[in-house]
Amino acid sequence: MKAQNYHKIEQGREAAFSLVEVTLSMAIAAVALVSIIGMLPQGMQTMRDAGDRAIQARIHQQILNELQMTPYGGDAGNSPLDDYDGLEIFYDSQGEELGDSNNNASVKDSFDHIFTARVSVPKDGGRLPDTVGGNTFNGFAFSEGSGVEESKYLRPILVEIAVVSGRPTFDWGDEDNQKLISVYQSYVVKMGKDYTR
């Protein structure tokens, strides 16, 4: 009869976790949670950097589109493209143009100013920006020969874009600022063909 009562007691008992099992599972969950929280700042920075790069690529494309629409040649050998050489253009956090160094330069120190782009359209004998070596630009050579001549149909375009939020002045030549600058290199090609007789 005692064995029969014991069997009834065992059937009525409900299954549960012990205190040791609960403590161990909470410790494992805490370690996992701390690891995930530790990765959040890095993930946020990666997302911010990716957004900045997307906006910089958009700014570069806007500038390149404008330069491609500019007449290639002008009177007396001057090109309207030369007017863009050294031009700084200011943008907001979404890549919308606020103004440039020729007009509306007052936005440079405004709260909305987040990105600055500097355009270089080097000519033969001109100097390249420091971000790409700073050497003299000696035109293009497409074939072997003793001399290098500037191409009549091709102009290099260098667009430097910097994230300058929080900096009222930005020095392009400062060593500490070099890591903030992204450089995009493109070319503008003269369309059409010159016919000589």
pLDDT tens sequence across 28-83: 999 999 988 988 888 899 998 899 999 999 999 999 999 988 888 765 567 888 88
Task: Give CA–CA dist 116/92, Å, rounded.
Answer: 9
Domain assignment of residue 31, yes or no: no
In degrees, rounded to 5, the angle at the alpha carbon of residue 114 between the alpha carbons of residues 161 and 69 is 50
DSSP label at 106?
A: G
Domain assignment of residue 106, yes or no: yes
Domain assignment of residue 3, yes or no: no
Domain assignment of residue 89, yes or no: yes
DSSP label at 42?
A: H
Domain assignment of residue 13, yes or no: no
pLDDT mean over 104-125: 77
pLDDT mean over 141-148: 54
Give helix then strand counts, H and E, for the chain. Answer: 2, 5
Residue 114's domain spans which residues? 67-189
Phi/psi at 32 (nearest 5 deg)?
A: -65, -45
Domain assignment of residue 39, yes or no: no
How many domains does the chain contain in total?
A: 1
Tokens linked to 34: 């701390």
